[in-house]
Amino acid sequence: MHIHQIRNATLIVTYNGKKFLIDPWLMPKDYMAGFDVAVNANVRQPRVDLPLSIANIVDVDAVILTHFHPDHWDEFAVDAIDKNLPFFVQNEEDLNKIKAFGFNDVRIVSERGTEFYGTTLYKTYGQHGKREIVKPLCEQISMPYDAMGVVFKAKDERTLYITGDTIWCDEVITAIKKFSPSVIVVNACGATLLNGERIIMNDEDVKTIASYVPSAIIVASHMDTVSHLTVTRSDIRKMNLKNVVVPEDNEIMEF
C-alpha cells in the first residue's frame, strides 16, 4: 500500500495494485474565497498550490468522493477526470450529482462491502461536526452534512481506514472495532465554524485516536490548506506521538 498525500484531503491510494484518487480538489492557490460561516473567512483558499500537475494526479484506476463539499471536489476535477473511470460515492444523492457532470460509471459504497478487483471497500459513518448542532446549520445553507469514511480490505494488504471529514465520535470507534485497521488516515486541521464548533478532528482528537489504537499508524491529512483551519502540521508534530505520521504535500508513504 502506498498513500500519496497530494493536498488537503486529496490522496492517491495505491492498494492491491490499483490507484484510487480520493477527494480531488484541484483548483489553484487562492482560487476560492473562505467560507463565510467559518473562521478566517477573509483567507482565500486553497492556501497552497498543487504540488504536481493535474494530469499526473488524475492518472488513476478509480475515484472516491467522501462527500460533496467545495473543499473536496471542484470544477477542475470535473474537467480533468476521465468520465469513464469507476467513481465511488456515499449515497444516491451524490451519485446523481456526479452523474450530472457526465460520469458514466458511478457506484455507491456499501456498508456491507463493494468489490473492486480484489479489494473490498466499506462505507463507514462519522459526524461532520456534532450532528445535533452542525446538521441543522448545514440544512439552513443548503449544504449536505453527511460525509462517509472508507475502509479498504484485501487479502495481501493491511487494512486501511480513511475516516473522512469527522470529529472523534462513536461512529469512528465503531468502525475501528469492526475493521481493526492498521493504517488510519484522519482529516485533522481542526476546521472550525463561527459558532466554535469543529467539523473535523484536531490535534487532541489525533492524540485520542492514537492512544485508542496504539498498534495502528495514524496519518494526519487535510492539513495547512483550507481557510478555516485551526491546527497545523507543526501543532501535531509537537505532540511527538510515536504512531502518528504527518506527511507533507507530495509525500508518498509506503506501508
Domain locations in the chain? 2-250
Task: Please state, in angstroms and rounded to a whole number, the distance separating the CA atoms of residues 153 and 122.
Answer: 8
Sheet holding 160-162, edge to edge: 114-116, 119-124, 149-153, 160-162, 183-187, 217-221, 244-245
The predicted pLDDT at position 196 comes to 96
Rounded Cα–Cα distance for residues 82 and 204 (Å): 39
- Taking only the tens place, the pLDDT of each residue in 19-56 is 999 999 999 999 999 999 999 999 999 999 999 999 99
pLDDT at 174: 98
Angle of CA points 14, 95, 91, to nearest 5°? 85
Pairing of strands 18-22, 62-64: parallel
Percent of the chain at pLDDT exceeding 90: 99
Show the cell assigned to 174: 465503531
Compute the mean pLDDT over every residue in the chain, rounded to the nearest whole number: 97
Q: How many CB atoms lie within 10 A of CB 164?
A: 29
CATH number attached to the domain at 2-250 = 3.60.15.10
| Range in 95-104, 133-142, 181-190 with the lowest mean pLDDT | 133-142
Q: What would the pLDDT profile of 196-246 be if each residue is shown by its tens digit?
A: 999 999 999 999 999 999 999 999 999 999 999 999 999 999 999 999 999
3-state DSSP assignment of residue 219: strand
Q: What does the pLDDT read at residue 118?
A: 98
Q: Which residues contact 194 (CB under 8 A, 6 or more apart)?
A: 37, 38, 39, 41
Q: How far apart are the first and last CA of the chain?
A: 5
86-91: list long-range contacts, CB under 8 Å, 24+ apart. Answer: 86/61, 86/62, 86/116, 87/62, 87/63, 88/62, 88/63, 88/64, 88/114, 88/116, 88/121, 88/150, 89/64, 89/65, 90/65, 90/66, 90/123, 90/146, 90/147, 90/148, 91/146, 91/148
What pLDDT band is residue 133 in, cutting at 50, 70 and 90? very high
Q: CB–CB of 83/59 below 8 Å?
A: no
Report d(CA 71, CA 225) in Å as an integer: 9
Per-residue pLDDT of 159-188, as tens digits, reads: 999 999 999 999 999 999 999 999 999 999
Taking residue 104's Cβ as centre, other Cβ atoms within 10 Å add up to 11
Position 236 scores a pLDDT of 98
